């Protein structure tokens, strides 16, 4: 049958019209999200619960490493690897080891092949180029048995990063006023009572940085030097988590390095001014009023204390340059019975310091520093049960010329004027890390320094047994001295010394058997008196033997020799210490 073209075209147009979709319905279609938002806005409890669950799930989906990297002082892992300039030759691969800190203060990482042969040693934050194959990376602090071992396969043409599931620990040591202190402490893992050795703070004013510990996650005990591992005094603890850098503040007494406290707090939190400038400030004020009434004696005693702290700092950090300036004012007013003449200021300190460091290389860099330290108010001492204050002359002979029979019965006596003592120090030099091997480390510092100190006329409290008497019949004077505070006069003195400074420190580790550490510091002024052959010397050394897993033997030696021309006799002291420590726990 023959079909006409007009009829065929009519059938095609009808089919196309029948296959077209129907027209859209009137109105706007609501999505699931819009319906959910409507329920949420009407206070629907189920919708609120769903939204909270979604938000919680989104937070927990973040990997543990992303959260851990937020604790680092260094950039994140991917940024470190992207900025590392190590070139991998054709046909080789590499291993990238991230760093937690920016000051290159972590122990080196050693790379071994499967035959236990040492292939390379690198500083964290760098890539090492290797032939494709299987390797072991050994990293961390402590002896070989205490270090962390990571197995890794190197592929050609790529740098494989080590996933940082170890822990980092930086312990900043300060005194009770928050000033950096080169103290000493010992670090022990609690669950195994495994000692990792001694650690030290840093002399920030000399361009030193605190060394970081790289450890297995766990709970660690920070002990005062010489304490037993089971001690319940003179210690603090810290828990280290995988992949995290923990900054720990350790407060010690400068006189004996006894631990006064500690915690994971930042002493100098900072805020950014620009990408390289940071600043921070702490301001604190406290006031206390107390009244005590003795009804039997009809006696009322009132005390008022007002304290204030101002701590401000400004930092500039842009590799390889670091510059920091700090101003600290710490004051306290103690008033008894509303008598201004009995006001005592303690503490009373004004400190300004500034240091510039240029880290040309990881192991070398110059530094320059300036620091001044003084106080604002008169220094006063207050008597309690004593009869008063008695005095001696410059030869320690009892002095009757002040007051009645040489006795001052005031409640408070001024022993030193305001702005005294005043010290100013200026110095510059070079820091060298000579070696950073696992078994042997050595560093030295060479510089030139200037130290000025001014002490105005003042009094010093002395023991009564030093007092001499002008006559044999001195029983009344001896009784007076016995019940008084004895003051010895000291005249104004200015001490200015200029000369070279040097220090050398070394650490030797013999596996897990023991270690030896030592440091010597020299200051040889050339002005106002040339003392190159008679320098001031500070010497310290420590020997540690691990006789058994539960038995340690330590020996320490300290010597201090200072002989400025202004002193009649040099200051020369030394100390020895031996500790045999047995520890056991049923853990």
Output the CA angle 238-586-577, nearest 5 degrees: 65
pLDDT score for 42: 54
Distance CA 280, CA 328 (A): 12
Cis peptide leading into 583, omega within 30 of 0? no
Average pLDDT for 203-215: 81
Query: With bands split at pLDDT 50, 70 and 90, how would you rate the model's confidence at 566?
Result: low
Average pLDDT for 483-506: 90
Long-range contacts of 524-528 (CB under 8 A, 24+ apart): 524/499, 524/500, 525/497, 525/498, 525/499, 525/564, 526/498, 526/499, 526/500, 527/496, 527/497, 527/498, 527/499, 528/496, 528/497, 528/565
Cis peptide leading into 126, omega within 30 of 0? no
Q: Mind listing the pLDDT tens digit for each residue in 228-277?
A: 878 889 999 999 999 999 999 999 998 888 999 999 877 666 676 777 88
Q: Mind listing the pLDDT tens digit for each residue in 427-446?
A: 899 888 777 666 788 888 89
pTM of the model: 0.70
Distance CA 102, CA 123 (A): 11
Distance CA 194, CA 140 (A): 14
pLDDT score for 569: 63
Burial 401-418 (b: 16+ CB within 10 A, else e): eeeeebbbeeebbebbee
CB 549 within 8 A of CB 540: no
Distance CA 329, CA 327 (A): 7
Dihedral angle computed from the Cα positions of residues 59, 62, 65 and 68, in that order, rounded to the nearest 10 degrees? -20
Overall CATH class of domain 67-161:
mainly beta
Q: How far is CA 570 from the centre of its chain?
A: 33
**125-139, 296-310, 480-494, range with the lowest pLDDT:** 296-310
Overall CATH class of domain 167-240:
mainly beta
Distance CA 198, CA 261 (A): 18
Distance CA 502, CA 107 (A): 24
pLDDT score for 405: 61
Distance CA 251, CA 406 (A): 42
CB 250 within 8 A of CB 225: no
Structure tokens at 351: 């400190």
- In 3D, which of 347, 350, 418, 341 has the Cα closest to residue 382? 341
Structure tokens at 549: 């897993």
Helix (H) or strand (E) holding 344: strand 344-358
- In 3D, which of 127, 138, 121, 122 has the Cα closest to residue 93? 127
């Amino acid at each position: 049958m023959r079909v006409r073209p007009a009829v065929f075209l009519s059938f095609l147009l009808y089919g196309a019209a029948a296959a077209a979709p129907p027209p859209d319905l009137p109105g706007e279609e609501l999505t699931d999200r819009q319906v959910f938002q409507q329920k949420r806005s009407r206070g629907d409890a189920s919708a609120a619960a769903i939204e909270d669950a979604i938000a919680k799930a989104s937070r927990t989906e973040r990997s543990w490493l992303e959260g851990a990297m937020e604790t680092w002082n260094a950039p994140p892992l991917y940024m470190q690897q992207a900025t590392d300039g190590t070139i991998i030759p054709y046909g080789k691969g590499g291993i990238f080891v991230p760093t937690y800190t920016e000051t290159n203060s972590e122990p080196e990482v050693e790379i071994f092949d499967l035959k236990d042969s040492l292939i390379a040693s690198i500083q964290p934050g760098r890539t090492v180029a290797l032939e494709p194959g299987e390797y072991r990376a050994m990293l961390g602090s402590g002896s070989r048995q205490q270090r962390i071992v990571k197995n890794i396969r190197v592929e050609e043409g790529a740098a494989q990063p080590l996933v940082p599931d170890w822990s980092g620990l930086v312990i900043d040591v300060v005194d009770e006023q928050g000033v950096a202190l080169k103290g000493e402490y010992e670090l022990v893992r609690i669950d195994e009572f495994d000692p990792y050795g001694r650690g030290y703070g840093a002399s920030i004013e000399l361009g030193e940085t605190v060394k970081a510990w790289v450890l297995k996650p766990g709970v660690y005990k920070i002990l005062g030097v010489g304490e037993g591992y089971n001690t319940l005094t003179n210690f603090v603890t810290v828990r280290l988590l995988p992949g995290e850098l923990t900054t720990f503040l350790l407060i010690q007494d400068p006189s004996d390095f006894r631990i006064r406290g500690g915690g994971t707090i930042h002493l100098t939190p900072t805020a950014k001014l620009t990408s390289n400038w940071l600043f921070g400030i702490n301001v604190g004020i406290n006031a206390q009023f107390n009244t005590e009434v003795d009804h039997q004696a009809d006696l009322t005693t009132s005390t008022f204390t007002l304290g204030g702290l101002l701590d401000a700092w400004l930092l500039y950090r842009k590799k390889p340059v670091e510059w920091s300036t700090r101003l600290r004012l710490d004051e306290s007013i103690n008033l008894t019975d509303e008598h201004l003449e009995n006001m005592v200021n303690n503490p009373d300190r004004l400190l300004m310091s500034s240091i510039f460091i240029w880290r040309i290389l990881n192991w070398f860099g110059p530094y320059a520093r300036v620091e001044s330290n003084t106080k604002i108010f008169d220094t006063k001492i207050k008597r309690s049960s004593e009869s008063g204050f008695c005095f001696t002359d410059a030869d320690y002979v009892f002095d009757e010329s002040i007051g009645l029979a040489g006795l001052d019965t005031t409640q408070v006596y001024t022993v030193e004027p305001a702005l005294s003592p005043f010290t100013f120090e200026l110095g510059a030099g070079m820091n060298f890390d000579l070696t950073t091997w696992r078994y042997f480390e050595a560093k030295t510092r060479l510089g030139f320094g200037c130290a000025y100190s001014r002490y105005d006329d003042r009094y010093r409290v002395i023991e009564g047994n030093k007092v001499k008497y002008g006559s044999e019949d001195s029983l009344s004077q001896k009784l007076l001295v016995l019940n008084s505070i004895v003051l010895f006069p000291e005249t104004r003195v200015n001490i200015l010394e200029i000369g070279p400074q040097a220090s050398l420190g070394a650490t030797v580790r013999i596996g897990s058997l023991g270690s030896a550490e030592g440091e010597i510091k020299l200051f040889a002024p050339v002005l106002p008196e040339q003392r190159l052959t008679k320098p001031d010397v500070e010497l310290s050394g420590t020997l540690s033997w691990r006789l058994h897993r539960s038995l340690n033997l330590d020996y320490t030696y300290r010597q201090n020799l200072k002989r400025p021309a202004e002193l009649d006799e040099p200051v020369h002291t030394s100390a020895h210490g031996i500790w045999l420590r047995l520890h056991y726990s049923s853990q």
